[in-house]
Amino acid sequence: MGGIIFLVVMLIIILIIAFNTIKIVKQSEVYIIERLGKFHKIADAGLTIIIPFFDHVRSVVSLKQQTMDIPPQGVITKDNVTITIDTVVFYKITDPAKAVYEIQSLKKGIEYLAITTIRDIVGKMDLDETFSSRDAINDKLRVILDEATDQWGCKIDRVEIKDITPPADIRDAMEKQMNAERNKRALILQAEGERQSAITLAEGKKEAAILEAEADKEAKIRRATGEAEAIKKVAEAKAAEVEMVYKAMMKANPDEKLVQLKSLEALKEVANGDANKVFIPFDATSALGSLGAIKEVMKDDKKSKKE
């Protein structure tokens, strides 16, 4: 009976020693191992053996990227407006030993440093500038925090301002200003649209008047051309008719009086036409000259008889 109790006690002692000796480190974690109160080594992921009663695990450090919300802070801007800024910091531990031994609390150190840096950066800006310069504020915060936390074995990957909240009266004034700007832009756009519409309408009327004038001009030109062409064709037809009669008379060998009479008849027909120009053969004009001479002779004969 006593032997069984001894075996049980030894088994418990062995289990306790094994539990304190064998350590299994998870992925993305490291153990800070101290030996007799002094830093000994960093145990990476996997199986790690330590000496019981001499070595112990000081801290378990995560190598994952971590996030930390900075409590909303009241900050006074350059133009004396108190705003509340809510920030989040993304960081990763690059040297676990420094993160454990160089600062008592890494998270508290990052938080306090972020608060003082935010107040320093935003305190140099106007209210409007803080809203329009979020990216610049984020970059400045990241650079300053990264330089300050490097001695703590920490790297600041990103800093993001989640929200900037001005006082209620400032928000009301900003909303009124935004509404006024929107109304102003709407009125400007409406006036510009009306102006463009009037210009387009005037240009349309101008082009229509020009096209109408050009069409009227073209119509008059075509009408005048048609009338001239018609007159020309009528004149040519009459001239052809006179020439045909003249040629027929010449072929018949008429005497001079007959030629003169026929020429007069033809000229009478031509004169009754619509043409402005009359084409008279050369021989016909000779006949007309003879008629004029005969007329003068007859006048002289009548005078002599009266005497």
How many Cα neighbours within 13 Å face the side chain of 291?
A: 14
Model confidence pTM above 0.85 = no
Backbone angles phi, psi at 29, to 5 degrees: -135, 155
In a domain, 187, yes or no: no
Tell me, what's the pLDDT at 170? 72
Rounded distance, CA 116 to CA 109, Å? Answer: 11
What is the domain-level CATH number for residue 105?
A: 3.30.479.30
- Residues 14, 47, single domain; the answer is yes
- What does the mean pLDDT of the chain come to? 79
In a domain, 193, yes or no: no
Tell me, what's the pLDDT at 154? 92
Distance of CA 139 to the CA centre of its chain: 29
- Residues 72, 158, single domain; the answer is yes
Which one of 41, 62, 83 terminates a domain?
A: 62
Tell me, what's the pLDDT at 291? 44
Total tally of structural domains belonging to the chain: 3
- Residues 91, 71, single domain; the answer is yes
pLDDT, tens digit (0-9, with 9 covering 90-100), for 87-125: 999 999 999 999 999 898 899 999 999 999 999 998 888
- Residues 34, 120, single domain; the answer is no
Which one of 166, 185, 210 terminates a domain?
A: 166
Confidence grade of residue 30 (pLDDT, cut at 50, 70, 90): very high
Q: What length is written for the chain?
A: 307
Q: Is the pLDDT of residue 251 over 50?
A: yes
- Residues 49, 82, single domain; the answer is no
Structural domain of residue 147, as residue ranges? 66-166
Nearest-CA neighbor of 164 among 89, 90, 83, 88?
Answer: 83
- Residues 54, 103, single domain; the answer is no
- Residues 26, 72, single domain; the answer is no
Rounded distance, CA 40 to CA 202, Å? Answer: 91
Which one of 62, 77, 102 terminates a domain?
A: 62
Nearest-CA neighbor of 159 among 168, 151, 147, 171?
Answer: 147
